[in-house]
Chains A and B, each alone.
Chain A
């Protein structure tokens, strides 16, 4: 059974803190994604990675960075958390090639920045 896990379901941080969100997949997928989900806006792509140490900006990369040192792990970093980064963060992975590139999702991390 495919599995994408995220380090925390709920996280509360203070403004200005550095925040790490971790995602691990056990499907040997090449692609990994970080999304932000806000009500009425759907999912917006922050960053994605198509290989180890490779990354590309999505639609809303400002205020975020990512790291992919191992194929199975993709980290999202908020260098200095701000209240407008309070949101649900979803990680996903997919094969580089194959039928319609289905993305598999983790359970999400609900981050609150106070």
Chain B
């Protein structure tokens, strides 16, 4: 069975600095999708970034980028120029290509220090 591991329950970063959140996963599939979702305090979960496993190029969305290492089964999220609004729980999720069910990590709480 697929599993997703986020080994950092909590991370903190100074405003304007860069932080990297870790995610590893276990799968025997070759085609799949990976996601980072953000859940701000008392607000809705939203998609931050996604990566298709067949794409070698790392996905980027403005200040958010991923480091996708398929062989190592690693999918880290880098947030550049951290802002106070980035404070949230961040969840890594995996989806098989043939299935719409997501497998979720336990989450990392990101604290931004002003």
Contact = CB atoms under 8 A, between A and B. Distances in A.
Interface of A: 4, 31, 40-45, 48, 50, 58, 90, 92, 94, 96, 100-103, 105-108
B104 A43 contact: yes
B75 interface: no
Contact of A106 (B6, B44, B101): B44
B95 interface: yes
A100 B33 CA distance: 7
B107 A105 contact: no
Contact of B101 (A41, A48, A96, A105): A48
A100 B100 CA distance: 9
A44 B91 CA distance: 12
A48 B100 contact: yes
A40 B106 contact: yes
Interface string B1-27: 000101001000000000000000000
Nearest to A92: B45
Interface string B26-61: 000000010100000001111100101000000000
Contact of A105 (B9, B45, B50, B105): B45
B46 to A, nearest CB: 7
A102 B44 contact: no
B100 A94 contact: yes
Given A42-B91, A107-B43, A102 B50 contact: yes
Contacts of A101: 33, 95, 100
B84 interface: no
Given A42-B91, A43-B91, A100-B33, A107 B100 contact: no
A105 B100 contact: no
